[in-house]
Amino acid sequence: MIISNDAVAVVTELRAKPGKDIALFGGGELFRSLLHAGLVGRVEVSLIPVLLGGGIPLLPPPASGANLRLRKQRVYEKTGTIGLEYDIVRV
């Protein structure tokens, strides 16, 4: 499914239905909007060793009321990619 408008409403509706976890792929703005709405329970980040330059920050400033707790990390030897999985801890 591609969501182009009001991701908060779509994710809220999906979470109200029975089923498994919801995985979203998007940029920092999408992540921050869902985090602000309290719809994020876990974050998985892959670090790929490529210089990308500037852009939109993935994580909001510390005043967001949420901290990250590292849950799991994995190194993919073939590519050098590092997978990080975090739980969102509300403060």
Report the predicted TM-score, pTM, of the whole model to 2 decimal places: 0.61
Q: Identify how many contiguous H helices and E strands the chain contains and give both numbers.
A: 2, 3
Domain annotation for the chain: domains and CATH numbers: 7-90 (3.40.430.10)
**pLDDT tens digit sequence for 46-88:** 766 555 556 666 665 655 567 778 899 999 999 888 888 888 8
**What is the SS3 assignment for 91?**
coil
**pLDDT tens digit sequence for 6-29:** 999 999 999 999 988 888 887 778
Give the model's confidence band at 89: pLDDT under 50 very low, under 70 low, under 90 confident, else very high: confident
Q: What is the DSSP string of 39-89?
A: ---EEEEEE-S----S---SSPPGGGSEEEEEEEEEEETTTTEEEEEEEEE
Answer yes or no: is pLDDT of 3 > 70.
yes
